[in-house]
Amino acid sequence: MAHDAHAAADTRRGPRPRREVTTAFVVSRVAVLAVAAALLLYAAPPLAADGSWVSLALLCAASAGIAFLYLTRRFVPAKYLIPGTVCLLAFQVFPVLYTVSTAFTNFGDGHRGDKQAAVTAIETGSVRQAPGSPEYALTAAVRDGELVFLLVDPKTKQVQAGSGRGLAPVTGAQVGITGKVLRAPGFTVLKAPEAAARGQEISKLAVPTRGGVIKANGLSRAVEGRASLVYDAACDCVNGENGPWRADGARGYFVNARGDHLAQGWQVNVGFGNFTRVLTDPTISGYFLGVFGWNLVFALASAGGTFVLGMAVALALHHPRMRGTKIYRIALILPYAMPSFAMLLVWRDMFNRDFGLINQLFGTNVDWLGQTGTARAAVILVNLWLGFPYMFLVTTGALQAIPRELTEAAAIDGASPWHGFRKVTLPLLLVALTPLLISSFAFNFNNFNAIQLTSEGGPFPAESPQVGATDLLITYTFRLAFGAGGAQFGFAAAISVFIFALVAVISAVAFRRTRKQEEVYA
């Protein structure tokens, strides 16, 4: 790629000399084009099958654009910017926009699909077998190219042909012992594989009868059923049992006069409903401050604690007289190298009162995760253990960049080691590490795993089971959005918008302060 950049510079200066074609240049270009082509080939058939022409057109346009960009010699800066921009759009911008738009809907359990899907589900779910009607043995057959059902009444052995027009008796049919029709004059009986291949047609065919319709039930039986709930577009309502059920466009439900609703709903736009619910719901607003306070403590203790611990270890290993630093470094990085999911679960079991390692080791009988204070200390301790190797790594790196002469000069000037560290090393370290500390804070502010896999937010006071002592905003609201009421994606999205705003404000303030600090020390 570096050669490519050189070539670009040359093009601007001279009268377009023939560009040198290096291996890296060819390989990178082929790689980008291959990925674009692969994505096109992968995504186009399902889009075409679905009939999503707009998306298909967008995909083709994007692919054509990329192909043009990397086949032409011009637009060199764009060649470097496009991959990053595409990733930014796909992995950052799109999820954010999708989350925000979801926050304005009631998307969730009971409201996943559109109204049409809900109507279909309501009608299908209400089909009951017509009382006293026979359980027909079904044989799929073809007459003049049209799919028909050959229906055998198991009691009378009478054979009828059912098509979209209704039932008609069949004479001269030969019925096997299983009740299936073996052959019938004028019909071509479908063998099992042939019938299976036409499965979709078979499930669609409805034979009208006086009391309802006969539909296939699998490939070998058919029953006469009647839908007890039927949608009527004229009144935009569902007629039937306990009805009429009128469509309520604000809630996405069919509602009857008694205020009950049918189980199947559809997705509607609820405007700011989810946001006002976050602000007005007493189970949220009543506990918000407490949870927020502990959340701040947890994030600060995690970020600050890991930093102090990691830096202390890094400083110790940085000392010139330290021996065997490599061994120590490997040992220290281990917690970082192990999968945190597994380690969190191991820690949770170590804190068990009767079976846990910690009580056994110290001979204590503390219900670590069962009391507010100890549970909070425990989750911070676990997070510290998981997080400090990262801080150790970055501090080690930053320390290498600080010339030893500076501390030596301070020492010669009569500064104590503590003074030297406080006035020289630490400020220089902070210039490099403050952005990392801020992002560590933001990460720990929403550190869902650290809580959910250890204390699950508990212990929960018996008087208010909604919120636990170690609940972060994210674990607390996760339970609100996905616990009691099934999955409520719209509500969850609104909550994440709020949490995003909180973290963004805190980080913005912190970054502003950092910039001032950098001006001082730069």
Of 32-91, which residues contact another protein (CB under 8 A)?
A: 34-35, 37-39, 41-42, 45, 49-50, 87, 90-91
Per CB under 8 A, 408 contacts another protein: no
**Least Å distance between CB 355 and another protein?**
5
Beta carbon nearer to another protein, 203 or 416: 203
The piece of 63-71, 318-326, 412-420, 480-488 that touches another protein (CB under 8 A) is 480-488
Residue 507: both structure tokens together:
């980080």
- Output the six-digit token pair for 448: 């869902």
In the bound state with another protein, the residue whose beta carbon lies nearer, of 334 and 462, is 462
Distance CA 54, CA 274 (A): 30
Alpha carbons 233 and 105: distance in angstroms, whole number: 24
- When asked if residue 505 is in the footprint of another protein (CB under 8 A), the reply is no
Q: Which residue has the tokens 């839908």?
A: 227
| Closer by beta carbon to another protein, 160 or else 264 | 264
The residue from 263, 308, 338, 508 that contacts another protein (CB under 8 A) is 263
* Side-chain half-sphere exposure of 458, counting CA atoms within 13 A: 13
Would you count residue 265 as binding another protein (CB under 8 A)? yes
List C-alpha distances in Å: 255 to 9, 78, 111, 258. 69, 55, 14, 8
Smaller CB separation from another protein, 273 or 420: 273
CB of 279 to another protein, least distance (A): 16
The piece of 142-150, 293-301, 363-371, 424-432 that touches another protein (CB under 8 A) is 363-371
Sole window of 70-78, 263-271, 309-317, 401-409 interacting with another protein (rule: CB under 8 A): 263-271
Q: Which residues contact 214 (CB under 8 A, 6 or more apart)?
A: 136, 149, 151, 162, 167, 206, 207, 222, 223, 224, 225
3-state helix, strand, coil in the chain (%, to 5): 60, 15, 30
Identified binder of another protein from the candidate list 57, 58, 64, 117, rule CB under 8 A: 117
* Per CB under 8 A, 416 contacts another protein: no
What is the token pair recorded at 142? 């073809």
What's the full length of the chain, in residues? 522
| Element at 229 (helix H, strand E) | strand 229-232
Least CB distance from residue 217 to another protein, whole Å?
4
Range in contact with another protein (rule: CB under 8 A) among 54-62, 164-172, 206-214, 221-229 = 221-229
Q: Which residue lies nearer to another protein by CB, 112 or 183?
A: 112
Q: Indicate whether 500 belongs to the interface with another protein (CB under 8 A).
A: no
The first and second tokens of residue 19, run together, are 């560009």
In sequence order, the 6+-apart residues with CB closer than 8 A to the CB of 360 are none
Minimum distance from residue 20 beta carbon to another protein (Å): 28
Binding residues for another protein restricted to 284-343, rule: CB under 8 A = none
Evaluate whether 241 touches 229 at the Cβ level (below 8 Å): yes
Residue 216 tokens, joined: 């296939």
Query: Shortest distance, CB of residue 126 to another protein, whole angstroms?
Result: 8
DSSP letter, residue 91: I
CB nearer another protein, residue 110 or residue 420 = 110
Residues numbered 131-190 forming contacts with another protein, rule: CB under 8 A = 135
How big is the site for another protein, counted in residues (CB under 8 A)?
A: 88
Write out the binding residues for another protein, residues 431-470 only, by CB under 8 A.
Answer: 436, 439-440, 442-444, 455-456, 458-466
Smallest gap from Cβ 52 to another protein, in A, equals: 11
> How crowded is residue 190: how many other Cβ atoms within 10 Å of its Cβ?
19
Query: With respect to another protein, which residue has the nearer C-beta, 20 or 241?
Result: 241
| Rounded distance between C-alpha atoms, residue 31 and residue 26, angstroms | 8
- Per CB under 8 A, does 199 bind another protein? yes
Query: For another protein, which residue of 72, 85, 124, 242 counts as binding (CB under 8 A)?
Result: 124
For residues 254 and 246, the answer to whether their CB atoms sit within 8 Å is yes
Comparison of 49 and 327: residue with beta carbon closer to another protein: 49
Q: How far is the CB of 220 from another protein (least distance, A)?
A: 6
User: Roughly what angle, to the nearest 10 degrees, separates helices 473-482 and 282-318?
Assistant: 140
User: Token pair 């074609």 is at which residue?
Assistant: 21
Task: Return the residues of window 222-241 that contact another protein according to CB under 8 A.
Answer: 223, 225
Take residue 327 and report the two structure tokens written for it: 């061994």
Q: How far is the CB of 422 from another protein (least distance, A)?
A: 26
184 SS3 class: strand
Give the span between the Cα atoms of 3 and 1, in whole angstroms: 5
The smaller minimum CB distance to another protein, of residues 121 and 142, is found at 121
